[in-house]
Chain A
Amino acid sequence: MGIHVSTKINGDDVEFVCDAEETLLDVLRDRLNLTGAKEGCATGDCGACSVTIDGRLTCSCLTLGAEVEGREIGTVEGVAKGNELHPIQQKILDNAALQCGVCTPGIVVAAKALLEKKPDPSEEEIRYWMAGNLCRCTGYDKIIRAIQDAAAEMRG
């Protein structure tokens, strides 16, 4: 029997029907065609599925779709304003902080959540905050630089 869920995703009202065991990640990707969040591990280790729920950074692979009734979800699809990239997205491009790109949506969502909480994080704070976002390609350094550049730009 399907569970009916009403929620808000990136500011838009969204309704969907899902099974009890279905994760939010599966709902986003398979039912709502929001394929930005990726399944890297499905066990909370890689961060590729990162979203925010009521502003709090979480793994959508460790959340049931049924749990988000009445909550507000933020995904990578809501980060850019139309064609205008968010500073984090732009700085990731400028710094060549991606290769295959599988980790990138999670990195963008996690970094945005960090800068909203802490506009001027130290490198150590960035590394700890991002410890749950694995990247097999870049070696992390460029990602850290991109976040620092974005933070500087956002502080103005």
Chain B
Amino acid sequence: MRYEAPTTVEAAVSLLSAEAGLAKVLSGGTDLLVQMRMGMMEPDLIVDTKRIPGFGDIVEENGGYRVGGAVPSAELNEHAGFTAMYPGVAEGADLIGSTQVQGRATITGNLCNAGPAADSVPCAVAVGCVARIAGPNGKRDVAIEDIPQAPGKTSLEKGELVESLFFPAKPANTGDAYLRFIPRTEMDIAVAGCGISITLDDTGTCTAAKVAIGAVAIKVLVVDEAAQALIGTKVDEAALDALASACSAAAKPITDKRGTVEFRKEVVGVLAKRAAKIALDRAKGA
């Protein structure tokens, strides 16, 4: 195996494109090194992005934030501006592993590992996060929900890597939230999760919403019916029940040691409801 730490994104793309064997990007390494250790992954080349200028930065852009591909969750959660704008996204990232894991784990890695239970992804999807991808044919911007395809599989082409994640400016009267269910209080993998963003008008009527559910399908799912259940309502009990039913109906989970299909479908609805209430309070500025 070769280890390279290029200092430009172009050099990273060239290295990834030129490698005939398995080439892997290294951000925090909290998935990649574990997979290598377990013998699940034997890369021929590792390209560490942490020496590329900008990859470690959080910068304001058009009223939103651009988060470099290698920014660890711990740093994101120390950023007062980002956590104030998108508390739900920050909380999702803050659920990843222990303090030690947080010191390295990135949202970009969480996304590109393409695990269905990735905790930072549903809420980032809900707030409209867009990934900037660099590759042999230049750069392109892609809604992050289009990146994971199935466990461990992404839509990235050979030679491509995620350079940064853009979180657009938050519209007025908008709130976000993420909740997951785990059997313990820390250090576990989600049995189900839900990220949600709600926008209200001046009368408190919901004008826009986006709902994403995790750990209940082969990838994080955007549930349009769940958003429709809220739009045009005051997000009252009836709307919340419709939201929960839509999430339960959209879920296509599996049964494993952490939960059955029936349990996961039920719980994802309950989580959606609870997350919606938090997002609603945040949208009202409470």
Contact = CB atoms under 8 A, between A and B. Distances in A.
Interface string B128-171: 00000000000000000000000000000000000000000000
A contact patch SS: mixed
For B50, B98, B101, the residue with the greatest tally of chain A CB atoms inside 10 Å of its CB is: B98
Interface stretch (A9-17, A52-60, A87-95, A96-104): A52-60
A67 B48 contact: yes
A21 interface: yes
Nearest to A43: B34
Interface stretch (A74-82, A127-135, A137-145): A127-135
B2 interface: yes
Interface string A50-74: 1001001111011110110100000
B37 A42 contact: yes
A110 B100 contact: yes
A32 interface: no
Contact of B5 (A67, A113, A130): A67
B72 interface: yes
A21 B98 contact: no
Contacts, number: 84
For A56, A61, A133, the residue with the greatest tally of chain B CB atoms inside 10 Å of its CB is: A56
Contact of B34 (A44, A56, A67, A133): A44
Contact of B29 (A42, A45, A57, A64): A64
Contacts of A85: none
B187 A64 contact: no
**Contact residues on A (Cβ < 8 Å of other chain), bracket:** 20 to 34
Given A56-B72, A56-B103, A20 B46 contact: yes
A50 B99 CA distance: 10
B43 to A, nearest CB: 9
B100 A47 contact: yes
Interface string B73-104: 01000000000000000000000011111011
A3 interface: yes
B33 interface: yes
Interface of B: 1-3, 5, 26, 28-30, 33-34, 36-38, 46, 48, 50, 72, 74, 97-101, 103-104, 186-187
Interface of A: 3, 20-21, 23, 42-45, 47, 50, 53, 56-59, 61-64, 66-67, 69, 110, 113-114, 128-133
